[in-house]
Structure 1
Amino acid sequence: MPKVGIIYNDIKPVAQQAALEWQDKLTALGYDVSLATGVGGILGYSSPERPLCHTPLDSLVPPEFDEDMLFALVLGGDGTVLSAFRQIAPIGVPLLTVNTGHMGFLTETYLNQLPQALDQVLAGDFQVEERAMLAVKLFHHQTLIWEALCLNEMVLHREPLTSMCHFEVGIGHHSPVDIAADGIIISTPTGSTAYSLSAGGPVITPGVSVTQLIPICPHSLASRGLVFPDHEPVSIHSANTDPLVMIVDGNAGCYVMPEDWVSTCRAPYSARFIRLRSPEFFKVLREKLGWGLPHIAKPTSVELP
């Protein structure tokens, strides 16, 4: 019996109801359907009393999900998509992402279009687009103490009301550089339209094999964003005496103590998106972010009072 999965946002009634309905429909069609919630991919926020909630990268795969699955549905918004890929990427199952949220920048279709979309997928009429992910790791001296998969970005920043941060950043074999800023963003091309865009970074098309570093509110005119090959690992050491906070994809985090350091590199797993048509990134930019829309022409003359 062919296997499929469904991952849904269980705090949204519409997503929960749709998950149960499509479980019944796919079961009636002869598929073995497994359900999981997006909560399993959220690694949890830390507190000073509990600075680490460490879960190994490949241990988040939901029960009954495995490499034999043909595909999985994701019912939710962008946060659920990010969480789902953290769960599913290690087993390589492609995901059909269905928007039941707001922005839906990472989703392929809408809930009211799901019947037609599933007909197309079940008929094998789709493409799989692979996008790079980051493996983010936190070390205490040389001991690994925290790790997470990342599709958008890793953010390392100061605690509220603390002073500016000073970072020593090493990229590949190049000499380390010093950055003074409120924080640092390490982003994939997929994440270039997320936090790094708001922080002044460029938009990078998903097929480009690069990583970008964006300082947050740098205290220097010389500290600007940097784009470099994604095969080069990054190491970040803090020169601060206060703890820092690290957030991955906006839904997982830990404290970074003064003697800790952060490593990022391209993950061995990719995010595999099911595409119902050839990917058109610029179209998504126009529809979701208003990029490249025609300007309204200025009047040729103005009547003065």
Structure 2
Amino acid sequence: MGQSKAGIIYNDSKPSALRAKDSMVEWLETKGWKVHTATGTSGILGYSQPHSPVRHSPIDRLAPPGFDTDMDFAIVLGGDGTVLAAARQLAPHRIPLLAVNTGHLGFLTETYLPLLFKATEAVLSGDCYLDERTMIAVQVWREGALIWEALALNELVLHREPLTSMCHFEISIGEHSPLDVAADGIIVATPTGSTAYALSAGGPVVIPGVSVLQLIPICAHSLASRALVFPDSELIQIVSPQQDQLILVVDGNAGCYISPHRDEIRIARSSYQTQLIRLKRAEFFRLLREKLGWGLTHASKPTSVELP
């Protein structure tokens, strides 16, 4: 039997993540594990520029050296942005992620730095669960050629520059009649992404595991344009009939400029999934309460009233 292998993806801009990475490497190696480390950089695709060729990074070639199907699990040290980048890097190799929060909200993370070693001990002993999350594959096609693609765990956002300028979007979902949406932008979100930008734009919260996607206009120019929920088996195609250039952003850390009339965006449920390691059975409503304050009783509500 070969040596067990683990990985660490970390945010190298955070000193606490750097210190935790070094300590964890030493700790795992004393237990006989082979450890590979990398930053989330290769999962942050950056942005193409209007005056330069589009950077095309195939979605299955972003994993750092040593991160492959032989890896048992990977620890992610950072905030939600680092988790999103790591998901894009490692999902094609089905590597489970133990996400450790070194940031602020940490909606996608499972534990915190003070509990890092205890949480990792639980993973090594098998006292954990896998929470599989839907991802979408986003592709940009120009004149019949694929010029850009990315995996998204949260969402795709398409808008004009500046964001406050209204735009028309022609959208086809599966075999249904095409839609024409006038708005500042549009969001296509997964259930995981329903608690991110989509929530701020007025979309519904979707419990992970429900096989749907949602389309949300940003500041729509019509009272009839509202969030739409539809099966994730449907292919979404988007074009813009306007002359103005658009920008496409995936999970907040990858983007591509879109040329009107020339480019078509295609979104479909990916065959890859993000596997998040959970230390206890996932209870989504508890997460909503802890992170977003959903469903809490009003703190100012009196328990009794005294009459004068």
TM range (shorter): over 0.9
Q: Residue 58 of structure 1: SS of its match in structure 2?
A: coil
Identity of aligned residues (%): 60
Summarize the alignment of residues 193-208 of structure 1 with structure 2, pairs less than 5 Å apart.
Answer: 193-208=195-210
**Structure 1 pair 129/161, CA: closer, same or farther in 2 (3 Å)?**
closer
Q: Give the equivalent residue in structure 2 for 1:230.
A: 232
Q: Secondary structure at the match of 1:59?
A: coil
Cα 1:292–1:238, aligned 2, differ >3 Å: closer, same or farther?
same
Q: Which of 243, 255, 265 lines up with 2:257 in the alignment?
A: 255
1: CA distance between counterparts of 2:162 and 2:225? 22
Aligned partner of 1:218 among 217, 220, 233: 220
Distance 2:305 2:163 in 1: 51
Match in the other structure for 1:2: 4
Q: Which residue identity is paired with 2:176? A: H
Which runs of structure 2 are paired with 1:141-156 in the superposition (5 Å)? 141-156=143-158
The alignment yields a C-alpha RMSD, in angstroms, of 1.4
Q: Confirm or deny that 1:103 pairs with 2:108.
A: no
Deviation at 1:188, TM superposition (A): 0.1
Q: Secondary structure at the match of 1:57?
A: coil
Task: Work out which of the residue numbers 214, 218, 241 in structure 2 matches 1:239.
Answer: 241
1:283 equivalent in structure 2: 286
* Closer, same or farther: CA 219–117 of 1 in aligned 2, 3 Å: same
Q: Give deviations 1:79-116, integer Å, cap 9, x for gaps.
A: 00000000000000101000011110000000100111
SS at match of 1:64: coil
**Aligned residue among 72, 76, 82 for 1:74:** 76
Larger displacement relative to structure 2 (90-99 or 50-59): 50-59
Q: Across the two proteins, how many residue pairs are aligned to each other?
A: 303
> Is the 8 Å Cα contact of residues 164 and 184 (structure 2) preserved in structure 1?
no
Report the equivalent of 2:271: 268
1:191 corresponds to which residue? Answer: 193
SS state at 1:48 partner: coil
Give the partner amino acid of 2:225: S
Quick check: 1:137 aligned with 2:104? no
Cα pair distance change 1:183/1:115, threshold 3 Å: same
Query: 1:24 & 1:49 partners in 2: Cα distance?
Result: 46
Does 2:304 match 1:297? no
Question: CA-to-partner distance for each residue in 1:184-241, whole Å, 9 max, x for gaps?
Answer: 0000000000000000000000010100000000000110000000011100010110
The residue correspondences of 1:16-165 to structure 2 (distance < 5 A) are 16-50=18-52, 52-160=54-162, 163-165=165-167
C-alpha deviation, 1:51, in angstroms: 5.9
Structure 2 runs not aligned, ≥5 long: none
AA aligned to 2:294 is W
SS in 1 for 2:186: strand
**Structure-2 change in CA distance of 1:209 and 1:302 (3 Å):** farther
Q: Deviations over 1:106-155 (max 9, x none)?
A: 00000100111111110011111100000000111321110000000000
Q: TM-score, normalised by structure 2?
A: 0.96
Please give the per-residue CA displacement for 1:36-61, whole angstroms capped at 9, x wherever unaligned: 10111000123322362221101101
* Letter of the structure 2 residue corresponding to residue 291 of structure 1: W
For 1:86 and 1:111, how far apart are their aligned partners in 2? 23
Q: Mean alpha-carbon deviation: is it higher for 77-86 or for 156-165? A: 156-165
One-letter amino acid matched to 1:297: K
Cα 1:289–1:51 change in 2 (3 A) is farther
Hey, what's the Cα distance between the residues in 1 that align with 2:40 and 2:266?
26
| Preserved contact between residue 163 and residue 185 of structure 2 (Cα < 8 Å) | no
Displacement of 1:161 in angstroms is 7.2
The answer to whether the Cα contact below 8 Å between 1:210 and 1:229 also exists between their aligned partners in 2 is yes
Counterpart position of 2:178: 176
Is the CA contact (8 Å cut-off) linking 1:179 and 1:218 kept in structure 2? Answer: yes
Distance 1:268 1:32 in 2: 29
Q: Structure 1 segments of 4 or more deviating over 3 A?
A: 298-303
Q: Which runs of 5+ in 1 are unaligned?
A: none
